[in-house]
Structure 1
C-alpha cells in the first residue's frame, strides 16, 4: 500500500474550509448554550422543587438521548408538522446549518447546566452569607458573587465539554453540512483516499483541540490564579517590585 501524500496537500485548503465551519458551529452553539445553561443551573440549584422540575426534565432528556437523535429530531422532525412549515421559523428550520446550531446548543446547554449547578452548590456558604451581610440583593449576589465563582470552579470541566462538543460537531455532516468531517467525506468520494483524508482531518481536529486546551488553561489560570499561590506567600513573593533589594543582594 502506498500513501498519496500529495492528495493531502492538494485538498488541505478544502479541509481548512470545513474546519472553519466546525469552529463556527462550536463557537455559536457554545455561546447560545451558556446563555441557556446559566438560568437552567440557577433553577436547578433552587431549593423549591417546582422550580427545579423543568430544568430536571430538560437536562434528563438531552443528557439521556444521543446527540445524533437530537439532530435528526430537529432537522427531519420539525418538517413533519405543517404548522412549523407555515410559521415564521420555517426559513430557519429548513436550513441544515441552523438545525445543527439548535441541536448542538440545546445539547451543550444541558451538560453545561449540570456543571454550573454543581459549581454553584460548591461555593462556600460563608461567601454567600458575607454577601447577604453586606446587604446585597439576590440578583446582585448572582451577578457579582455566585456566577463569577461558579464559572471559575466549573471552568476545567467546561473545557472538557467544549472538547466533547468539538468532536460531536462531526455529526453535522449527517445533515449535509460540509464541516471538517463532511468535507473529508466529500473529498474521499472523489479521490478514493479514505486513509489519507481521515488522517489529515484527525490531525486538524487534534490541532484545534490543542488550541482549545491552551485557551482554557490560560482562562483557568486567570480566573483561579489565587489557587496557584501558597498560603504562606507574602506580597513581596507575589510582586517582585515589593522585594527589598538588600535581601536579594
Structure 2
C-alpha cells in the first residue's frame, strides 16, 4: 500500500466527494418534492388518477439507472427539436443530465415508499381528522404527509444510502465525482488499490453520516412511539 499516493491525491478525492454530495442532495430534495404528489396520486381510489404514477414508477424502477442516464445524456441529443429548443442548454451538460436522471429515479422509488406509508396510516387518525371537519387538503397537509413521512423515514434512509452509492454512475458521463476522480487519478498513477480503497473509505464515512442523520430524524418524527408516561406524575397508584 503506497500511502504517499493516498496522501497526495486525497484533496482531489475530497473534491470529487463534494460533487457526489451535491448530486445526491439536489436530486434527493427535488426527488422528494416530486415523490409526494406522485405517491398521493398512486394511493388515490380513482383508477384514472393512478395510471400515470403507476407507469412512471414502473419504468424507473424496472430499468437500470445506467440506462436512464444514457437515455437522457445521449438520447436527447438525437432529436433535432431538442437541440434547437431552450432545453438544450441544460441537456447538453452532463451535470444536469445526471441530476435529472437521479431525480427521476429516486422520485420513483420514494413515491412507492410514501405510497405504502400513506396506506399504512391507521384509519382512526384519518377518521379523527374527518370528525374535526378537515377538508382533503388540510387533512393531507396536517395528518397524511407528516405521518407518512414518519412511517417511511427508515426505508427512505436506505434509499438515500443507495442513491449515494449509485451516484458513482455519474462518472460514466465524464463527471468527476468521487468515483470518476479516483478512476482519472488511477489511470495516471496505476495505483488502483490505493485510490479505490481511499474512495471506499470516503463513501463509508458519508454513508455513516447519512445513517446517523436519518436515525436522529426518525427519533424526532416518531418520538411519540417511544414516549412512556410517568405514572407518578399521572397520580396513578402503582400498587
Length-normalised TM-score, structure 1: 0.92
Partner of 1:49: 47
Residues 1-249 of structure 1: pairs in structure 2 closer than 5 A: 3-230=1-228, 233-234=229-230
Partner of 1:246: none
Deviations 1:162-185 (A, max 9, x none): 000000000000000000000000
Alpha-carbon offset, residue 227 of structure 1? 1.2
Aligned length: 235
Output the CA distance in 2 between the equivalents of 1:235 and 1:15: 55
1:199–1:133 CA distance, 2 compared to 1 (3 A): same
Alpha-carbon offset, residue 236 of structure 1? 6.1
1:236–1:103 CA distance, 2 compared to 1 (3 A): farther
Output the CA distance in 1 between the equivalents of 2:54 and 2:149: 20
Output the CA distance in 2 between the equivalents of 1:83 and 1:137: 44
Alpha-carbon offset, residue 229 of structure 1? 2.3
Q: Which runs of 4+ in 1 moved over 6 A?
A: none
Output the CA distance in 1 between the equivalents of 2:79 and 2:167: 26
Deviations 1:131-183 (A, max 9, x none): 11111110001100000000000000000000000000000000000000000
Output the CA distance in 2 between the equivalents of 1:236 and 1:65: 57
SS of 1:234's equivalent in the other structure is coil
- Where structure 1 has 5 or more consecutive residues not aligned to the other structure, the ranges are 244-249
Output the CA distance in 2 between the equivalents of 1:79 and 1:125: 49
RMSD: 1.3
Alpha-carbon offset, residue 235 of structure 1? 6.9
- Where structure 2 has 5 or more consecutive residues not aligned to the other structure, the ranges are none
Alpha-carbon offset, residue 226 of structure 1? 1.1
